Amino acid sequence: MDTNLSRQEMASMVGLTRETFTRALAKLKESGAIDFERDRIKIISVDKLKDFIE
The pTM assigned to this predicted structure is 0.79
Q: Give the model's pLDDT for residue 1.
A: 61
pLDDT tops 90 at residue 53? no
Q: What are phi and psi of 16, to 5 degrees?
A: -120, 160
| Gap between the Cα atoms of 47 and 30, Å rounded | 14
Give the model confidence (pLDDT) of 2-49 as tens digits: 668 888 999 999 999 999 999 999 999 999 999 988 778 899 999 999
Q: Which residue has the higher pLDDT, 53 or 27?
A: 27
What pLDDT is recorded for position 28? Answer: 95
